[in-house]
Structure 1
């Protein structure tokens, strides 16, 4: 802070209207160009790394992979990252230890960390994660759209922060270059012109000459216009009297540099006559032989207020991310609870309706019997729906331990389970052996195969004999299982939508079901680190494929 206020400067009207130099225009153009944000994925398992890459590649950002905590720390020494997705369970150095080391380094202490793990979400684990500064703690596999949304928030936050830094630096360089140019012109003219020349009178920016003690000797009218003080009041005050208390030390350091013969640039808050504060950006050049300081200043209050608004918006955005995380957890718990608790009264309602039909059949009118039967049918549908919701919720919450699974035995159990339906529809089941073993969770895999086979038996045109082919093949990422049918098919527009909750393409009267079966299929495959997809067109059947890891 100047010990004595540096107020008015002089400059020619010609310099004020001159266009920026070409190099300055290029710098301004560069402000709008931001490189891709870096996202660090830390996981020692290639399959989980591949799954996260597949989810996040749609964001179009730069994905950096590290297979250990040490490798992640090396990456953080070389690059800045918008967000870190880190597994908890890793050899040598786990995710918590890595996060602790990241937080100890000043450059990375504020980098957002999302723990993505399959470890049970006990309160101790979660508490430890958040105590290390984690912004989220989620179990894999996660819902891709949710992960994309969460990561996008931190990517956008990082980009906005980087953009502010770039803009501030570019503006500072442009203003400094402009200040230096105008100061040079001012110094040349001040030697020949009077104290009240046209430059001082007409300059829009704040120009001044001060002594080495910080008292203003000469200033232009812009100082009075911006700060509200008269010329005599400004010449009677020192800079230390007008500078904001929080900027005192910086001002003193700038004055020491000026006395040492160094040109300085500084941004500080100055008190107006009405006791409000404004931001001034100034550049000062000392002339040691004359013991004078030539000053060029500009009011940047509007720019600073805009930066403050952006900062507040970013803080609000972070708060919304935290709130969204809590809401997601509450919704999962609510879904499981409501699905579980509603089944008991629903079964009672079904039981009483059946008893009414069995015990009072002869006493009821045909209309009453129809009403009671509708209650039974509706209760059965509702019970199936709640049971599917429970299965979906369990897949999200339960811990899945993967092991080598014999596909032959698993498929035989599934076919025995649906044997009555196969026989009633005289379905043709073709299994192309051998079926390759996979790394999977046997119970979850049975449920997935059962849902797909049941759909293949269900979604066929009336009077058409179902035909189902099942085979497996080796692919670069592991083993792919195919289930192909000759059913009604699915339009390409719905290939992704059919895997969502409650997504039905037909009415329940035409093809019964709850609209949750394929959502369970996708959730189960994601929880096992695999993928599911479909190839189909209307009238040409469907081929569903399941990608599994190779058995160890």
Structure 2
């Protein structure tokens, strides 16, 4: 028995850690996971291979996800490939519509549920396999038809030769008849295999005449999903399901032209009871028993979309709850201190100056927590000017070195000439200080912190490397999450602020960690 061929799945993300996550979630002996680090590299893979589905990140440097999807679908040989956007950017309706307009059939927001992603990919792989089976059956039918034509041609040639030479006509006719019978037997077997696929498919499959639109046959899944009986459908010429294609740009539906071949067209259809459902429609023309027909396959995604909407709603509620709990926890502590001392002062009818100083300190701490949280706001206005990153680092160096000396550590600068960048100096100072001070805290006495800058192609890099014991995997996965901290007195907002600052500067933060230390690398794109 032939070994089952692996199905190609393309993973596109400019961040290696995201590709590793997708690869771990989708790992399967049945999948060939192809990775691409950019939209350009993804296009190269699509030119070479066929894919069952593409998981595409939206926000990438250079060619972004939307443009990459459009280019893939503009090419005839790749226009049928379903694309799932995976993104952590805004979930507003217009952004989702933009993704569908670019050619996506699905839209998943980070952080995603691994099981749901696996089930979605499995569904598209299953559809791809069914489509491949249909294509193979069509190719086999075509091959058998050509063989039959070839046999007929040979027979005619032989008959003419026998007439001319008058040799053993009866024997040759018998031999050619046997060949025809064998060819017809193979053709019948191919038709039987097609019937089995047709009957067992979980998708809704209908065969209709291209001449008058008449329903020739429908499978069991079609009947179960629509509620119709077989006898009341066969022979009807009207559009029973009232199929309409969705237009994500105009937020309305349009009529479908079933004379054209379609691939995963998002449609709405109605059951016998008037229930509206959503599906992905693919069509293919074929000749069946001498009649030109259209084979229409609908993959119903109604329940899947309802589940995704509910999961999205619950994820948002969960995020709001976590943020509210974090803010309440961090601000309640200093407020409790102030309240306690005020009650104490009230009972004693006087208040000492040290109590006032302590309350002011606690109030200032609460204010700092709120101020750090507000720096995470996406709409925060940045005062960016064209300036030298090295000069900002040199101005901060005495402060960082002084902190290092207190714990018998050292700071080394390796500043190379770099192109000027549009930077908000205050925000960049905060980013460098947060990461540098974290690095100093991670090291024991005698440790060395290295701050390095350099140019590479169209980017300027800032590397901050410590000689600590590294970051464990569980902590690494949560780094940058608001209110997550491993420090006893930390707010959990420092690195979250760093990621927010980087985002406002169109920069990316990557982390390389091991037992010999950790390197935070910030990549700035040259304007």
| TM-score (norm: length of structure 1) | 0.47
Question: What TM-score results when the alignment is normalised by the length of structure 2?
Answer: 0.49
